[in-house]
C-alpha cells in the first residue's frame, strides 16, 4: 500500500523554465511533508519542507505547495537550472509514528 | 572527516552468506536509520534507533538485524542474504526534534550497493 505516490517517473524541462513535481498521498494523518533531492551515487539531501497547517513554503527558487483537501503536494523550481537535474523524492511523516514514508521518486532532467 | 559514512560502498555476496553494512556518524546524533531503495518503492525504512541500545523495526525489517552499542555506529546485518535483499542501502542520522526527531536535519550517507547472487 503506497501511501505516498509520485505518478510521474520522469520529467524534462527547458533550462530557465518552471519545473513542477507532483506528489499525492492517502494518509490524512500526515503532519509534515518534505522534498529530497538525490544525485547518482549519493544519498538524498533535504530540500524543503512544509507543515500540514500551512499551504505554501518558499526557499529561494524552491516553493512547496500543499493542498490538504486534495491530498496533493507539489514542488516548484523556478527558474530551472542544469544542476537541478536529479531524482526528487517527496516524503511524509506522522508525528509520533517516527517513520518517514517516501514516494517512488521523479527523475528531473533540465535541458540546456 | 565529519559527516556520515557507509562501508563498503559496493558489495557482492552469495545467497545464504552473512553480510554486515557499516554506518558511522561524527555528529553524535541521537537518531539513526537504515533505509533500502528499490525501483518502484522509493526508500523504505528497515530499522531505526533513538539512542545507543535502543532500536526498533521499520517498514521492512524481516531478514535484518541491527545493533547500536555506540552512539556513532549503527551496523546492519543480513544474517542469511537472499536475492530479494539486492538493493541500495542508505544510513541516515538526525537530532531530536520538537516531537521525536527532526526531519529537516536528517542527513543521509552515500549508500551501499549490495548485490546478492
Q: Report the C-alpha gap between A55 and A102 in whole angstroms.
A: 20
Does the pLDDT at position B100 exceed 80?
no
CA geometry: angle at B42 spanning B39 and B44, to 5°?
A: 115
Identify the residue among B25, B103, B107, B109 best suited for mutation to test binding to A, counting A beta carbons within 10 A and taking the highest.
B103
Query: Tens digit of pLDDT for each residue in A62-105?
Result: 999 999 999 999 999 999 999 999 999 999 998 887 788 999 99
CB atoms within 10 A of CB A99: 16
CA geometry: angle at B91 spanning A88 and A22, to 5°?
A: 15
State whether residue B44 sits within 8 Å of chain A by CB: yes
Q: Average pLDDT for residues B81-97, to the nearest whole number?
A: 93
Q: What is the pLDDT of residue A21?
A: 98
Closest-CA distance, B56 to chain A, in angstroms, reads 10
| Of residues A43, A93, A98, nearest to B109 (C-beta) | A43
Q: Report the C-alpha gap between A77 and A37 in whole angstroms.
A: 12
Residues 6+ apart with CB under 8 A from A97: none
The torsion of the CA quartet B32, B38, B42, B47, rounded to 10 degrees, works out to -20
Query: Tens digit of pLDDT for each residue in A15-57?
Result: 999 999 999 999 999 999 999 999 999 999 999 999 999 999 9
Residue B106: alpha-carbon gap to chain centroid: 13
| Of residues B50, B90, B104, nearest to A43 (C-beta) | B90
Q: Average pLDDT for residues B89-116, to the nearest whole number?
A: 87
Amino acid at each position: 500500500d503506497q501511501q505516498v505516490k509520485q505518478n510521474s517517473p520522469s520529467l524534462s524541462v527547458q533550462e530557465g523554465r518552471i519545473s513542477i513535481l507532483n506528489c499525492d498521498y492517502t494518509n490524512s494523518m500526515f503532519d509534515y511533508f518534505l522534498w529530497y533531492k538525490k544525485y547518482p551515487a549519493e544519498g538524498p539531501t533535504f530540500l524543503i519542507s512544509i507543515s500540514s497547517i500551512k499551504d505554501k513554503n518558499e526557499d529561494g527558487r524552491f516553493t512547496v505547495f500543499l493542498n490538504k483537501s486534495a491530498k496533493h503536494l507539489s514542488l516548484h523550481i523556478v527558474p530551472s537550472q542544469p544542476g537541478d537535474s536529479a531524482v526528487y523524492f517527496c516524503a511524509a511523516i506522522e508525528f509520533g509514528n517516527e517513520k518517514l514514508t517516501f514516494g517512488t521518486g521523479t527523475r528531473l532532467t533540465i535541458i540546456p | 572527516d565529519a559527516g556520515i559514512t557507509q562501508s563498503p560502498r559496493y558489495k557482492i555476496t552469495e545467497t545464504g552468506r552473512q553480510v554486515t553494512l557499516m554506518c558511522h556518524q561524527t555528529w553524535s546524533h541521537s537518531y539513526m536509520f537504515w533505509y533500502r531503495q528499490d525501483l518502484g518503492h522509493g526508500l523504505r525504512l528497515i530499522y531505526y534507533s533513538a539512542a545507543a541500545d535502543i532500536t526498533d523495526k521499520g517498514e521492512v525489517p524481516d531478514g535484518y538485524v541491527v545493533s547500536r552499542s555506540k552512539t556513532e555506529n549503527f551496523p546492519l546485518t543480513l544474517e542469511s542474504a537472499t536475492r530479494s535483499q539486492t538493493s541500495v542501502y542508505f544510513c541516515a542520522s538526525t537530532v531530536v526534534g520538537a516531537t521525536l526527531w527532526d526531519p529537516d536535519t536528517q542527513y543521509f550517507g552515500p549508500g551501499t550497493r549490495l548485490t546478492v547472487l
